Amino acid sequence: MSSSSITDPRSLRNAVSGLSVSRLLVRPVKQLSFWAAIVLPFMHLSLLATGLDSQSMTAAFVVLVALNVCTLYIGHPYGVE
């Protein structure tokens, strides 16, 4: 019997060689960014609910907003592909 297995290096190499770098790396990054852009605003709400009294809380809020903008930009084309 010569059935190929997922652990067979030749069949794995053949399966991966047909995929482009875009499919292997870019798509998962876009997917992660898309879902992070959905979840991050809930972290904003928790910071706003506790208050931005200290400088560190304000800095954390600004960093989260900047991160959310980045994830929105990167993850925006995820569902379009």
Segment (H or E) for 3 = none
Residue 5 domain flag: no
pTM of the full structure: 0.68
**Length of the chain, please?**
81
Please report the pLDDT score of residue 6 as a whole number: 61
Is the model's pLDDT at 24 over the cut of 70? yes
Please report the pLDDT score of residue 79 as a whole number: 75
Name the domain count of the chain: 1
Residue 22 — pLDDT band, cuts 50, 70, 90?
low
Residue 67 — pLDDT band, cuts 50, 70, 90?
very high
Residue 39 domain flag: yes
Return mean pLDDT, the chain.
Answer: 83
CB atoms within 10 A of CB 57: 14
> 18 or 28: which carries more pLDDT confidence?
28
Residue 7 domain flag: no
Tokens linked to 5: 């297995």
**Angle ∠(66,72,75) on CA atoms, nearest 5:** 135
Measured distance CA(29)–CA(33) in Å, rounded: 6
State the residue range of the domain holding 39: 21-80
